Amino acid sequence: MRTLVVDNEADIRQSVVDLISAFCPDITEIVEANSVDSGIAKIASYKPDVVFLDVELGDGTAMDLLSKLDKIDFHLIFITAHNKYAIDAFRFSAIDFLLKPINPEELMLTIEKIKKHNNLRLNEQIEILKEVISATNQAEKKIVLRDNESIFFVKVSDVIRCESDKSYTKFILQNQKPIIVSKGLKEYEEMLEKFGFVRTHQSHLINMSKIIRFDKADGGSIVLENNDIVPVSQRKKEFILETFKNL
């Protein structure tokens, strides 16, 4: 695979190149760029298979660079510092990213992952990323879910609940078939809590706007719009009741 590393800090850029050379034998050619403009020029002339792209560049941002491309026909891996807002956006759009300083094991896992998946819907994923970053029209916000065969673009408002199954999460959706993704429920709890989702139990995360009834009997359970009954753990019961008071 032909690879381009775009980062405005020379020492970080060199460390990324060194890590790729040491741990990613499938990457045989690496070139570098240090800005939005030089990145665009290298993409046009070099036609990379993979681009490692820093979020903040000296003459702009990664989104500035991507918005100037006619098409994105390469795999994209963002590089970012520990910025929770940016990380949430990447998770929502299911776009690959690596945190600085880059962990060699995470690097290898990311390269293995992109070898297994095509990037045919990357442009759509980037549109989702832009929506999350702009934080407009919350009701129409989408989340990208990926199973072994497909990529799904789902409105957050269509998610009724999420259910844990070991290291997998099942999304129960309004008027759609369930989607099972290979990520844990904890990750989605962190992503969706700002959209009114609450963890009622170790295995269940629900959309509060889909609740039609709370039954206090037998420890407590919640009935949702699709008639699913979700348990409420004793530890979460008081929190759920307090949340109802604030609705």
CATH of the domain at 177: 2.40.50.1020
So what's the pLDDT on residue 143? 93
Write down the H helix ranges in the chain: 10-23, 36-46, 62-67, 84-93, 104-116, 122-134, 185-192, 234-245
3-state DSSP call for residue 60? strand
Structural domain span for residue 38: 2-132
Buried b (16+ CB within 10 A) or exposed e, 65-81: bbeeeeeeebbbbbbbe
Question: What pLDDT, in 10s, does the model give residues 162-208?
Answer: 999 888 999 999 999 999 999 999 999 988 988 889 999 999 999 99
In a domain, 144, yes or no: no
Is the per-residue pLDDT at 126 higher than 70?
A: yes
CB of 136 closer than 8 Å to CB of 127:
no
Number of domains in the chain: 2
Q: How far apart are CA 126 and CA 37, in angstroms?
A: 19
The residue to which tokens 């020379």 are assigned: 10
pLDDT at 245 over 90: no
- 62 lies in the same domain as 117: yes
Strand, coil or helix: 178: coil
3-state DSSP assignment of residue 169: strand
Q: Is the same domain home to 128 and 164? A: no
Global pTM? 0.74
Q: Is residue 138 part of a domain?
A: no
CB 13 within 8 A of CB 32: yes
Whether the pLDDT of residue 220 is over 90: the answer is no
